[in-house]
Structure 1
Amino acid sequence: MTPGATAPPAEDLLRRIYLPRGADAAAFSMTTYGIPLLVLATTGSATLTGLAFALEWLPRIAAFTVAGTLVDRFGTARIFRAACLARALTVLAAAGALTVFGTRTLAATVTVMLLAASTGVLTEFSYVAAETAGGEASRKTGARAHRVQSTLIAIDQTATLAGPAVSGLLLEHGGPAVMLGTLASFSVLAATLGPRERTEPTRGAAAKRGLGTGWATLRSLPALAWLVGGLVISNGAIALLQAAVPVVVVTELNHSSADAGLIWSAAAVASLLAISASRLAIDRWGLWPVGAAAAAVAAGATLAVAHADTYRGYLVLIAILMAGEGGLTAVLRTVRSHLIPPDVFGSTLAVTILLLLLPYPAAGLLVAAVPPAQLGHAITAAAALQAVGLAVAFTRLRSLPAAPA
């Protein structure tokens, strides 16, 4: 904690950070998991579902070339509210179009593909703003930063718990308009709960340099750079699973879209439990031992899920995988909040998230190109790379100066 700084009271964190983050996380989860289900239900095509997944993530990556800079320049509150309101309007427009055009038509296909791209951009703008606000709150708590980050991850994972299942159920029983209307409602709620005061923007040259500043900052922090590098490789396997599960569950295992959503909801439960455990474990053993244990769990589970051939197997193993991922995320966010200088936090955060998202559009394109029956082989290869990447990263981290606990 900086000299003279005081930790924000719990009620202030709840009002300014946790409540807006909760509503935005719900919209984020419904967008991430619900839009591919919507595309599959609307088009009936596994190939288009994979392409929609790529379209959802490619613009998100492009958004990070400007999102961090805009947050640094204009402040978190303004960017957060603008992104949430724009997402609500976009989703409502798509709901109206699908009501008019119906499903399995060219117009409906164009609508859902454009929806995937546009919501991807807007969701990442709101996420960068919310994450920057969370990073600032973490810095003010000093050595207890991992507790704030654990709470934020718990909020995200709670949304992930409900978002996929709710999206699948609303889509199956209410149709596209009901699902999209609910997503828009969460977006409006997030904008309403967002802080009203203007946050002070960063006026220096660092904000103007944007991603260049973020990249230079990341390279100057070897502990953060190695951790991000390992997680980029790990995200390749997770992204492939996320893109493949709707296709595998619906077309190969003959289950419903609600069942596909339930897998990620079950995974969120496991992740929440892991986050609670990692919070206590970091207090006792420190960041790197906890991170290494979480990496071993994630890599082992991915290798196992590559050979699963039942719905129950997918559900259980992906839950174990995401438990390990929850521990890794707690470590990453804590390291970020400690090491990144405040005046370039938005730009550096954008670079780290940009790198972590690079595997997602590639995973969507891979699912679009590979026949559903062959996806298991692709998952096996991704799992092997994940295990090697995490092992190298955490072995290297042991030789670096320890990050603040």
Structure 2
Amino acid sequence: MRADVSPRVFACLDRSGLWRHIYLPRSADAGATAMTTYGIPLLVLATTDSAALTGLAFALEWVPRLGAFTLAGAVVDRYGTTRVFRLACLARAVVVIAAALLLSAVDGNGGATVTVMVLAASTGVLSEFSYIAAETAGASVSREAGDQAHRVQSALMGIDQVATLSGPALAGLLLEWSGATGMLSAVAFFSLLGAGLAPRQPAVRPTAAPVPAITGLRTGWATLRSLPALGWLVMGVTLSNLSLGLLQAATPVIVVKELGHSSADVGLVWSAAAGASLLAIALCRKAIDRYGLWPVGALSGGIAACACLALSTAHHYTIYLVLTAALMVGEGGITVVLRTVRSHLIPPDRFGSTLSLTILLLLLPFPLAGVLVAITPPHLLGHAIACCAVLQAVGLTVAFTRLRAYPLRRP
């Protein structure tokens, strides 16, 4: 892995250094990412008043991300985390400011629809470049933490969940009270803040020749095949993400169209869910210390699958909010386990490429979920959620059964 600072330097940072060089940039980027991920579908629904276009926009937001991951991993390995992170944040700020200006200037639904669709695709790509850079820097700290890696990962997950706690609510409120301009201005602010907080470190000298994205993909695939524990876990979480993606894409439609609530209430659903997930992450850290990875992961998977199945029959806003929070409690525990296993097993010199591949696999269900919402009538979304919940339960059961059979060691 090529990075702006070696893992040993990261490990030697004191607490204030970790906040300055790792946690604060991650916080600003996570805030911008959360607002775009949850706010853009709301913006599309408010602009077009179409459930089908909302699902299509969700798919457009995620499809370019999939293509960006392998390239992002190779770029981070070559140029370092700081340069990639800063440029991605600056580009995202420019894109959202341009979209805000266009939305205030265009006349008619056609121009606004094209603008928000392009906005969804472009912010998705740029957010993943910044995420890969931030995740690679955090992984350097985790590897040096040894047996305490799950504590570092819990802190990073906590940052992500705080952003998910505040981002959707802020996006919904700003969209409700100040329109698209207010919401997109906030995204631009967080993006510029992330670019400014990126550590000023010596630039990495580029390698002699660019690393093709397909080469990084092959390297990541070979590494993943040599790590059966990680491979089975990625498979299970991928199936689980189909349920999560379907809920993310369908929630604006369900809450606004079916339950008759506002955009701010949609943001409140995900903010409450993130708060519950944040508590679960804190508990998982102590539970892993005492009981180990496998029991905590298996329990988290059971909670997530049961909550998702119950969500398919929820017909009241409060029940929907509570069950979504329960689902995210389980997802938070699963993610801590996955990130800890990933940081333990992936060799440092192949981390960027393997990380990109695993995230690519984990995100494949999200554009599919958007397509499902686009083609499914709103009153049948509950049946689609139930089918995905069954797949989720089967996938997580197989994953944690296989995880228990394989030791956590590198090839």
Q: 1:114 to 1:6 in 2, by over 3 A?
A: closer
Percent of pairs identical after alignment?
64
Q: Distance in 1 between matches of 2:345 and 2:71?
A: 22
Q: Indicate yes or no: 2:198 matched with 1:194.
A: yes
Q: Distance in 1 between matches of 2:84 and 2:183?
A: 25
Q: Distance in 2 between matches of 1:314 and 1:239?
A: 16
Alignment of 1:202-241 (within 5 A): 203=207, 208=212, 209-241=215-247
Residue 298 of structure 1, aligned match among 267, 280, 304: 304
AA matched with 1:45: S
Q: Distance in 2 between matches of 1:93 and 1:356?
A: 31
AA matched with 1:154: G
Do 1:7 and 1:141's aligned partners in 2 also have CA atoms closer than 8 Å? no
Aligned to 2:103: 98
Structure 1 gaps of 5+ residues are none
AA matched with 2:124: G
Alignment of 1:265-304 (within 5 A): 265-304=271-310
Q: 1:350 to 1:5 in 2, by over 3 A?
A: closer
Q: Distance in 2 between matches of 1:314 and 1:324?
A: 16
Do 1:150 and 1:330's aligned partners in 2 also have CA atoms closer than 8 Å? yes
Q: 1:65 offset after TM fit, Å?
A: 2.5
Q: Distance in 1 between matches of 2:20 and 2:400?
A: 37
Aligned to 1:175: 179
AA matched with 2:235: G
Residue 112 of structure 2, aligned match among 85, 108, 113: 108
Q: 1:400 offset after TM fit, Å?
A: 1.0
Q: Indicate yes or no: 2:30 matched with 1:25.
A: yes
Which range is displaced more, 169-178 or 333-342? 333-342
AA matched with 2:325: A
Do 1:71 and 1:201's aligned partners in 2 also have CA atoms closer than 8 Å? no
Q: 1:402 offset after TM fit, Å?
A: 3.9
Q: Indicate yes or no: 2:408 matched with 1:398.
A: no
Do 2:11 and 2:141's aligned partners in 1 also have CA atoms closer than 8 Å? no
Q: 1:12 to 1:3 in 2, by over 3 A?
A: closer
Q: Distance in 2 between matches of 1:36 and 1:26?
A: 16
Q: Indicate yes or no: 2:135 matched with 1:131.
A: yes
AA matched with 1:92: I
Do 1:147 and 1:279's aligned partners in 2 also have CA atoms closer than 8 Å? yes
Residue deviations 1:98-152, cap 9 Å, x none?
A: 01125x5110110000000000000000000000111011112111111110000
Other structure's SS at 2:405 match: coil
Q: 1:354 offset after TM fit, Å?
A: 0.3
Do 1:206 and 1:344's aligned partners in 2 also have CA atoms closer than 8 Å? no
* TM-score for the superposition, normalised by structure 1: 0.96
Other structure's SS at 2:200 match: coil
Residue deviations 1:46-67, cap 9 Å, x none?
A: 1110000000000011111301
Q: Distance in 2 between matches of 1:198 and 1:4?
A: 13
Give the total of aligned pairs. Answer: 402
AA matched with 2:179: G
Aligned to 2:270: 264
Q: 1:6 offset after TM fit, Å?
A: 5.0
* TM-score for the superposition, normalised by structure 2: 0.95
Q: Distance in 2 between matches of 1:310 and 1:227?
A: 34
Q: Indicate yes or no: 2:68 matched with 1:70.
A: no
Alignment of 1:289-328 (within 5 A): 289-328=295-334
